[in-house]
Structure 1
C-alpha cells in the first residue's frame, strides 16, 4: 500500500457565502498579490464529517466532538436509577479526564470547557466506568485514564482529522489527513447583496417601506482544494481491527473522496443554494514527499473559461514540478467534466481505496 494519497480538486461555486468571517462576509486571502475568496479547512472538514456520506459509510465508527459528554454520563446514571446528586458527582469526575470541568455552581456542572473528540469505544468505556464507581467510591478516573482513553480505535473521523487534549497531550491523536484552505484560482472582489423583507400584514396605506433591510456579502469563483492522507498513519490510528472491520479504512477513504467532491459547507445555503460538484479531480498515490499544486495559481487565472484555464494552469505547473523534482506520485487518476475520456467519481473512489 502506497503511503500517501493526494487529492487536487477544482470546484466552481456560483454566487454564495458558504464560509463567513466575523463580519459575515466571505472569507478571503491575498495570494499572488490579489484577493481570493477562501473556504477554511475547518469548514470543509465539518461539512464532510457531518454529511450523510460519512454517516452512511461509517455507522458506529464516528466520534463525537462535544463539551456535553459529562451530561451524557449523568443521564446514563439517572436512567439506572442513581440519585441526581450522585450522578452529577460521578459525571464530573469522569468528564475531567477529557478537559477542565465547569464550576459546580454552573448551570451545567458536568460540562467541559473544551470540545473533546470522543470515540464510540471511549463512550462505552466511560459508561462502564461510571457504573464501577457506584460500587467503589475509591476509584479515581484520573488515575485510570488508560481505561477511558484510546490511542487507537475504529473512530474513522478521529483517525483522519486527529484530536487534541490540551490537559494531557499524551492522548492526542495526530491527524492522518491534511486539508488546505480552498482558494479561488483567480481574483475575486466580494460583493454586497442589499435585501429587504416585507411585512405581509402591513397595509399599503400605512407606509410603503420594508419591514426590515440588510445586506449580505457574497462571491463566486473556481476554488482549488488540496488534501493529503498519510494512509500508513491512518491505519495506525485505527488500530488492530477485528475480522469484519477491515473495511473501515477503505470506507473512510471512499467517504472522504466522495464528500470532498460533492459536499458543500452549509453557510447561507438557503439564500444561495450553492450546492457544488467538483469539475476536476486529480488523485495521486505514492511514497514520495507530498506537494501542493497551489503554486499553479500564484499568477491569477484570467480568461473567459476559468475552469478550463485553471485545469490548464494546474497541469502545466505539475509538469514543471515533475521535470525539476521528479514525479510526486507513482499512480494517478483524473476526473474532468466535459472530457469523454475522463474517469467517473466511482472510479476515482475505487482508485483511492485500492
Structure 2
C-alpha cells in the first residue's frame, strides 16, 4: 500500500455561512483573481473530530482538547471527598503537566479576600485553567484518573514522580492524525500524520446580504404590525474542492505501531 493516501473531494453546499470570519461574514480567499468561498482546515478538522462518524468508528480512541482539564480534575477530587483547598492544590500540578496555568495578579488575589466563601471558591477555579488549549490522549486521561483515585485514598497530594504520564505515542486517533503541540513539553509533541488544506469554491462567488424577520405568534397585529425580530446575515453557496493527505506510515508510528487502529 502507498505511504501517502491523497483525498480529492468535491462537495456542494446550498446558501449558508459555513465558516465565519471575525465580522461574521463567510470566509473567502482570493484565487485566480477572484473571490472564492473558503472553509478553513481548522474548521474541517474540528467538524470531523466531533462528527457522529468519528465517534462511532473510533469510540474510546478519541482525545480531548481543552483548557479546562484542571476543573475536571478538581471536580473528580471533590467527588472523591477531598475538601476544596486540597482539591485546588492537588489539581494544579496535575493539570500543569500539559501547560502553564493561569495565575492571579496580586490585585486579583487581594480582591478574592473580600468575597464570600462560595464566591471565592468559584473564582479560585480560574487558576486551574491552562493558558492554551491542550490535547489529552485517552491513556493520559486514564492514568490521571488512576492517580486521582490513589491520592484521594491516601489523602495526600501527587508526588513529582507520579506526574510522568505524558505519552509520545498515543491511542487517540485524532491526535495521531492532526498532531499535538505542547509548548512547555515539546518532547511530547506529536507530528500530524494528516495534512488538510482549506476548502475553496471552484468558482467565483458574491456574498449576499440576507435581511430577515421573525413573526411573534402572540402578536395579533392590533397594536403593532411590526416583526418580532429583524436581522441581517451574510451567506453564499458553492461547490468546494477539498484536499487531504494522510501519511499512513506516520499514522501507524504515532499510534505506537497499531496497524489495525490506523
Bin the TM-score by the shorter chain. 0.7 to 0.9
Asked if 1:43 is matched to 2:43, the reply is yes
2:205 aligns to what? 188
Q: Does the 8 A contact of 1:99 with 1:167 survive in 2? A: yes
Task: Judge conservation of contact 2:202–2:241 (CA < 8 Å) in 1.
Answer: yes
CA offsets 1:10-48 (integer angstroms, 9 cap, x no match): 111111111111111111000011000001111111111
Alignment CA distance shift 1:138-1:23 (3 Å): closer
What is residue 199 of structure 1 aligned with on the other side? Answer: 216
The answer for the alignment partner of 1:151 in structure 2 is 168
1:219 to 236, 240, 252: 236
State the shift of 1:137 in Å: 4.6
What is the Cα deviation at residue 224 of structure 1?
A: 0.5
Question: Secondary structure of 2:128's match?
Answer: coil
In the alignment, is the contact (CA less than 8 A) between 2:179 and 2:193 conserved in 1?
Answer: yes
Residues 157-215 of structure 1: CA deviation (Å, up to 9, x unaligned): 00001111122222111110000000011100111111012222233221322222111
Q: Establish whether residue 139 from structure 1 lines up as the match of residue 152 from structure 2.
A: no
Conserved? CA contact 2:8–2:241, under 8 Å: yes
SS at match of 1:96: helix
1:233 is the counterpart of 2:246: no
Aligned pair in 2 of structure 1 residues 233, 138: CA closer, same or farther (>3 Å)? closer
Q: C-alpha distance in 2, partners of 1:189/1:14?
A: 14
Partners of 2:12 and 2:244 in 1: CA distance: 17
SS at match of 2:97: coil
The gaps in structure 1 that reach 5 residues or longer are 250-354
3-state secondary structure, aligned to 1:200: coil
SS of match in other structure, 1:2: coil
Preserved contact between residue 94 and residue 130 of structure 1 (Cα < 8 Å): no
Normalised to the residue count of structure 1, the TM-score between the two structures is: 0.65
Structure-2 residue corresponding to 1:123: 141
Structure 2 CA distance for aligned equivalents of residues 161 and 114 of structure 1: 17
- For residues 1-354 of structure 1, the aligned pairs below 5 Å read 1-103=1-103, 106-108=123-125, 109-133=127-151, 135=154, 137=157, 139-140=159-160, 147-241=164-258, 246-249=259-262
1:58 positional shift: 0.6
Contact 1:179 1:228 in 2 (8 A): yes
Question: What is the CA RMSD across the aligned residues, in angstroms?
Answer: 1.8
CA distance in 2: counterparts of 1:79 and 1:16, whole angstroms? 44
* TM-score, structure 2 as length reference: 0.86
Shift of 1:131: 4.3
Report the equivalent of 2:118.
none
Note the alpha carbon deviations across 1:194-253, whole angstroms, 9 max, x for none. Answer: 101222223322132222211111111111000000111101100144xxxx4211xxxx
d(CA) in 1 for partners of 2:245, 2:200: 16
CA contact (8 A) 1:184 1:224 kept: yes
**Structure 1 residues 203, 228: CA separation in 2 closer, same or farther (over 3 Å shift)?**
same
What's the CA shift for 1:99?
1.2
Whole-Å separation in 2 of the counterparts to 1:124 and 1:131: 11
Structure 1, residues 85-133: CA drift from partner, whole Å, max 9, x if none? 1111111111111112123654523221211110110001122333455
Q: 2: distance between equivalents of 1:65 and 1:151?
A: 16
Deviations 1:32-85 (A, max 9, x none): 110000011111111111011000111110000111111221222222222221
Distance 1:207 1:132, change over 3 A: closer
